[in-house]
């Protein structure tokens, strides 16, 4: 019987890896949403490409172990730099910047934790319930930050208002507005 990747990870390393991945995933989604309306221009294409790279890295990192952490630090820093140079003009850019910086800090913490000698590592391998708690709490926290960022994009501004999806029993109408 084989063990899952990262099965021997301590709770601290699990936490830093998972939350870094979720931060990068949220930032990637917001970057894609921010750049998509202008994808035919270099700035929009750059945001979409960075967003896709961050989201792809995040999926790999969620599986474990943390893939290419130094490259991830560089990518997250580059993404944050692109957002700053492009101008933090709205909620979407601010959210992308915050998630990228949080992801970079968590990746750095993970790398530092891995460098410790095994005797110095904190704790024993994380159990199933710890893994579930880390994933659930991280997903909830990143969602709370990501959703307003996505709402601040062009697509979010033109989204169908909640309650108008055609479910009469929810008080919605049968017609889409937007």
CA atoms within 13 A on the CB side of 74: 5
Q: Which residues of the chain fall below pLDDT 70?
A: 1-8, 87-88, 116-124, 160-178
pLDDT value of position 1: 38
pTM > 0.85:
no
pLDDT value of position 118: 58
Query: Residues 49-80, buried b or exposed e (16+ Cβ, 10 A)?
Result: ebbebbbebbeebbebebbebeebbebbeebb
Q: Return phi, psi of residue 22, to 5°.
A: -65, -35
pLDDT value of position 158: 77
pLDDT in tens, 21-45: 888 898 888 889 888 888 888 888 8
pLDDT value of position 8: 66
pLDDT value of position 112: 79
User: Any idea what DSSP says for residue 116?
Assistant: S
pLDDT value of position 20: 87
pLDDT value of position 2: 39
Q: Which residue has the tokens 């880390």?
A: 134
Q: How far apart are CA 96 and CA 30, in angstroms?
A: 6
**Domain boundaries defined on the chain:** 11-170
Q: How far apart are CA 109 and CA 40, in angstroms?
A: 37
pLDDT value of position 52: 92
């Amino acid at each position: 019987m084989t063990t899952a990747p990262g099965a021997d990870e301590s709770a601290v390393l699990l936490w830093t890896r998972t939350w870094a991945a979720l931060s990068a995933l949220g930032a990637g989604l917001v970057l894609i949403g921010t750049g998509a309306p202008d994808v035919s221009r270099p700035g929009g294409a750059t945001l979409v490409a960075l967003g896709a790279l961050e989201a792809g890295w995040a999926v790999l990192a969620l599986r474990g172990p943390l893939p290419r952490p130094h490259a991830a630090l560089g990518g997250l820093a580059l993404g944050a730099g692109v957002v700053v140079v492009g101008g933090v003009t709205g909620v979407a850019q601010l959210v992308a910047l915050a998630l990228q910086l949080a992801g970079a800090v968590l990746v750095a913490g993970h790398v530092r934790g891995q460098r410790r000698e095994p005797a110095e590592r904190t704790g024993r391998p994380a159990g199933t319930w710890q893994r579930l708690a880390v994933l659930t709490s991280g997903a909830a926290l990143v969602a709370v930050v990501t959703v307003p960022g996505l709402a601040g994009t062009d697509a979010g501004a033109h989204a169908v208002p909640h309650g108008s999806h055609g479910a009469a029993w929810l008080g919605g109408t049968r017609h889409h507005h937007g």
